[in-house]
């Protein structure tokens, strides 16, 4: 159970310095921290910490009228995680903007896991999602949410993709970034070579893919590769691996990458018997 709530009346109180102006600061970079926003993500953070996934809360900051509503979640954090409480005026002055959710937690980023170690830890039957050039935090978060919904065992992001531990990505993922194991940082070619070497059948998703996603055959290990909104996957990847498309009306623009990844994961998870 987390400690009793500590009242904060001064936005410059050094104890809550970590929460100051969180919207503007690049916490995930140099500072090595991440922000969990809202009740749903706070609950996931408590579970992820308890589950030994390396995501540990450093401090929690609540709007005074939210304390009672999250009492059961606070009980899931270790006793040494301080819980700070503030009035709306003080809370907004700390955060630097009006945060109607009134629920924030600051965590320390765990050590990154290398793609090779992540691959080595995968079960013999695996479904993984690979993102190349996913620079949009909303899309990155949405893709993790889909990965969780369809039981993907891990997400791999290449070196040109954004950090999914960015505040907004975690929020859009409804906390899935803290649940689905991931690794980020290799060049795409190296990442895909590692997966191919580990027996993964690699399928690139593209509007010009060879087969409809419903025709992707079941396999012991499948990696679905998605590219950035707009540009899609680089030609070097499309020509090195098999490709699949989502059947759709010819039109102005393809599906959003998050929706496309959801449909493709759904079809592959059905084929692999992971959902029914």
Measured CA to CA, the distance from residue 147 to residue 127 in angstroms comes to 9
Coarse DSSP helix, strand, coil percentages of the chain, rounded to the nearest 5 percent: 35, 20, 40
Q: Residue 206's closest CA among 236, 168, 232, 241?
A: 232
- Out of 131, 164, 175, 209, point to the residue binding a second copy (CB under 8 A): 175
Measured from the CB atom, is 32 or 151 closer to a second copy? 151
Measured CA to CA, the distance from residue 200 to residue 209 in angstroms comes to 18
- Out of 20, 116, 255, 271, point to the residue binding a second copy (CB under 8 A): 255
* Chain CA centroid to CA 31, Å: 19
Measured CA to CA, the distance from residue 224 to residue 227 in angstroms comes to 10
Q: Is 271 in the site for a second copy (CB under 8 A)?
A: no
Contact 42, 70 (CB under 8 A): yes
Measured from the CB atom, is 86 or 170 closer to a second copy? 170
Binding mask 202-231 for a second copy (x = CB under 8 A): ----------x-x-----------------
Measured from the CB atom, is 45 or 119 closer to a second copy? 45
Q: Is 273 in the site for a second copy (CB under 8 A)?
A: no
Measured from the CB atom, is 17 or 97 closer to a second copy? 97
Contact 213, 205 (CB under 8 A): yes
Binding mask 20-39 for a second copy (x = CB under 8 A): --------------------
CB atoms inside a 10 Å sphere around CB 23? 12
Block residue for tokens 């969990």: 36
Residues 52-111 that bind a second copy (CB under 8 A): none
Q: Is 151 in the site for a second copy (CB under 8 A)?
A: yes
**Site residues (vs a second copy, CB under 8 A):** 40, 43-44, 142, 145-146, 148-151, 174-176, 179, 212, 214, 246-249, 251-256, 258-259, 262-263, 266, 269-270, 274-276
């Amino acid at each position: 159970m987390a400690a009793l709530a500590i009242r904060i009346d001064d936005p410059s109180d050094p104890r809550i310095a970590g929460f100051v102006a969180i919207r503007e600061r690049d916490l995930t970079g140099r500072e090595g921290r991440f922000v969990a926003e809202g009740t749903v993500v706070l609950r996931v953070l408590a579970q992820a910490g308890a589950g030994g996934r390396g995501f540990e809360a450093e401090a929690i900051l609540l709007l005074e009228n939210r304390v009672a509503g999250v009492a059961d979640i606070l009980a899931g954090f270790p006793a040494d995680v301080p819980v700070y409480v503030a009035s709306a005026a003080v809370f907004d002055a700390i955060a630097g903007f009006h945060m109607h959710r009134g629920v924030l937690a600051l965590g320390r980023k765990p050590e990154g896991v290398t793609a090779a170690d992540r691959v080595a830890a995968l079960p013999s039957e695996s479904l993984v999602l690979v993102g190349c050039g996913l620079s949009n935090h909303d899309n990155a978060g949405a893709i993790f949410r889909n990965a969780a919904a369809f039981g993907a065992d891990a997400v791999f992001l290449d070196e040109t993709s954004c950090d999914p531990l960015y505040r907004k990505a975690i929020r859009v993922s409804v906390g899935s970034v803290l649940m689905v194991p991931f690794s980020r940082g290799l060049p795409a070619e190296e990442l895909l070579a590692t997966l191919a070497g580990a027996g993964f059948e690699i399928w690139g998703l593209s509007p010009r893919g060879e087969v409809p996603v419903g025709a992707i055959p079941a396999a012991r290990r499948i990696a679905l590769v998605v590219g950035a909104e707009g540009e899609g996957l680089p030609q070097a990847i499309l020509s090195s691996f098999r490709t699949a498309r989502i059947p759709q009306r010819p039109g102005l623009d393809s599906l959003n990458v998050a929706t496309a990844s959801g449909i493709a994961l759904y079809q592959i998870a059905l084929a692999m018997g992971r959902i029914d």
